[in-house]
């Protein structure tokens, strides 16, 4: 038995999908021209499969801030904050996120994945129970495995199911950790946070909301779903990433109390990995400023989301539950999905192909995502491509 033998089925399936044309498992962007335009091979494409919700990857001020940091502080920190010390930018960024979210404690991590490992994996040990939405991101599951917590999954977005499972826990519910996401990245739907907060008020527990896809996107000030629903005071920890609306790489956790600070000395994924590079920190600080001072970005994003959702719904496509910056389109079997995804590239539109088991309920979907940087003309071009491809999706031509 070789080390790689256990992957032979996976390898065979991947080969099967690589027979002809671009592969959805390792697409090479041969050029990226802007937040919304790129090239795959010889084909120019509109980028409609990113998490670049506010379109800030090419923001002139963020680029200038990053260039300045590169010139002054160099390309990398070459070590962890615990061993090598924090740069001024790390602590400034933590203070700025804390001020933006009005929270006493913020820890910055090297990615959002690592933030989940570092917070959940440290807080939820073998004696703790974690109640998590079935559709939670892999990093949340991995974090529970790392910490060794008992995992109880509740049905996706089903607060009643959460309540039933909390009740079964009896006294243990008081110390349980409930984990949900702001916007779920596959279907673009949002957690029923008001109902969940109500359960927490009655039965106890701690609430962690991963706002990876909703930070900068939802709420009057862009603070996420918790802000949009007016329940920030009931959320114990907000998790976020720098890789979506903040347009770089990294992650953060924001605590409702400064008790979280102790994790700087206990969280292995915080201690034993290199800290974010100065240029990354500088561009994130600039992007955070943009979120705080340019609400028109969010307005444009939601206009684009509504426009795309309505356009595809009018064409008869089967979509997610409501308009959001993530617009999933159900396209039948894996094979149909792959054909459809490739045909979209031929039409000049790049989206994400998502296959089961990565999708909820075993559906195959092409996941479109919109950006504030898409022009109305680009949204129209995306809709036109879906119009042309209706027969491929089994809709009348």
Counting contacts by CB under 6 A, is residue 81 touching ligand PMP? no
Active site residue 200: no
Q: How many CB atoms lie within 10 A of CB 76?
A: 14
Residue 357 preceded by cis peptide, ω within 30: yes
**Closer CB to ligand PMP, residue 217 or residue 389?**
217
Edge to edge, the sheet with strand 365-369 lists 326-330, 365-369, 352-354
Report the residue closest to ligand PMP, judged by CB.
112
Counting contacts by CB under 6 A, is residue 245 touching ligand PMP? no
The residue with tokens 């500088």 is: 282
Chain centroid to CA 323: 17
Residues 136 to 155: which contact ligand PMP by CB under 6 A?
137, 139
**Closer CB to ligand PMP, residue 166 or residue 212?**
212
Q: Which of 181, 227, 234, 236 binds ligand PMP (CB under 6 A)?
A: 181
Give Dmax (Cα) for the chain: 62
Positions of E strands within 142-229 = 150-154, 177-181, 206-210
Active site residue 279: no
Compute, in degrees rounded to 10, the torsion defined by CA atoms 292, 295, 298, 302. Answer: 150
H/E/C letters for each residue in 236-303? CEEEEECCCCCCCCCEEEEECCHHHHHHHHCCHHHHCCCCCCHHHHHHHHHHHHHHHHCHHHHHHHHH
**Closer CB to ligand PMP, residue 136 or residue 379?**
136
Residues binding ligand PMP: what is the number (CB under 6 A)?
A: 14
Residue 241 CB, nearest approach to ligand PMP (Å): 3
Residues 196 to 215: which contact ligand PMP by CB under 6 A?
210, 212-213
Structure tokens at 215: 């930070």
**Closer CB to ligand PMP, residue 154 or residue 317?**
154
Distance CA 397, CA 393 (A): 10
Active site residue 213: yes
- Of 105, 110, 122, 185, which one is the catalytic site residue? 185
**Closer CB to ligand PMP, residue 245 or residue 286?**
245
Structure tokens at 255: 């605590």
Residue 142 CB, nearest approach to ligand PMP (Å): 10
Distance CA 382, CA 46 (A): 8
Counting contacts by CB under 6 A, is residue 185 touching ligand PMP? yes
Residues 109 to 128: which contact ligand PMP by CB under 6 A?
111-113, 116
Counting contacts by CB under 6 A, is residue 243 touching ligand PMP? yes
**Closer CB to ligand PMP, residue 117 or residue 173?**
117
Active site residues: 185, 213, 244
Task: Summarize as ranges the residues that interact with ligand PMP (CB under 6 A).
Answer: 111-113, 116, 137, 139, 181, 185, 210, 212-213, 241, 243, 251
């Amino acid at each position: 038995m070789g080390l790689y033998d256990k992957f032979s089925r996976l390898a065979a399936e991947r080969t099967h999908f690589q027979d002809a044309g671009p592969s959805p498992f390792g697409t090479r962007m041969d050029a990226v021209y802007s937040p919304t335009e790129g090239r795959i091979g010889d084909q120019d494409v509109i980028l409609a499969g990113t998490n670049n919700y506010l379109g800030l990857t090419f923001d002139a001020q963020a680029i200038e801030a990053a260039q300045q940091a590169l010139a002054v502080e160099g390309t990398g920190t070459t070590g962890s904050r615990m061993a090598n010390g924090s740069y001024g930018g790390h602590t400034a960024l933590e203070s700025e996120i804390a001020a933006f979210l009005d929270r006493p404690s913020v820890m910055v991590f090297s990615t959002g994945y690592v933030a989940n490992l570092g917070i959940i994996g440290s807080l939820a040990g073998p004696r703790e129970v974690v109640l998590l939405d079935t559709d939670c991101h892999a990093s949340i599951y991995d974090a529970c495995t790392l910490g060794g917590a008992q995992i109880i999954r509740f049905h996706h977005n089903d607060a009643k199911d959460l309540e039933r499972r909390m009740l079964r826990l009896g006294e243990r519910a008081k110390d349980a950790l409930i984990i949900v996401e702001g916007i779920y990245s596959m279907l673009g739907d949002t957690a029923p946070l008001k109902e969940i907060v109500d359960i927490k008020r009655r039965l106890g527990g701690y609430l962690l909301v991963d706002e990876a896809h909703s930070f900068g996107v939802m709420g009057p000030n862009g603070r996420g779903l918790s802000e949009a629903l007016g329940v920030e005071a009931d959320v114990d920890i907000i998790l976020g990433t720098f890789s979506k609306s903040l347009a770089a790489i990294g992650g953060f956790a924001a605590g409702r109390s400064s008790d979280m600070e102790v994790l700087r000395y206990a969280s292995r994924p915080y201690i034993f990995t290199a800290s974010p590079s100065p240029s990354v920190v500088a561009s994130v600080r600039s992007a955070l400023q943009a979120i705080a001072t340019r609400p028109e970005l969010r307005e444009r994003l939601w206009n684009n989301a509504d426009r795309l959702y309505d356009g595809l719904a009018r064409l008869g496509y089967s979509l997610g539950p409501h308009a959001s910056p993530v617009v999933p389109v159900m396209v039948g079997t894996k094979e149909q999905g792959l054909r459809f995804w490739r045909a979209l590239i031929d039409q000049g539109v790049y989206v994400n192909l998502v296959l089961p088991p990565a999708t909820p309920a075993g559906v195959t979907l092409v996941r479109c995502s919109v950006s504030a940087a898409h022009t109305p003309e680009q949204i129209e071009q995306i809709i036109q491509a879906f119009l042309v491809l209706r027969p491929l999706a089994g809709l009348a031509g």
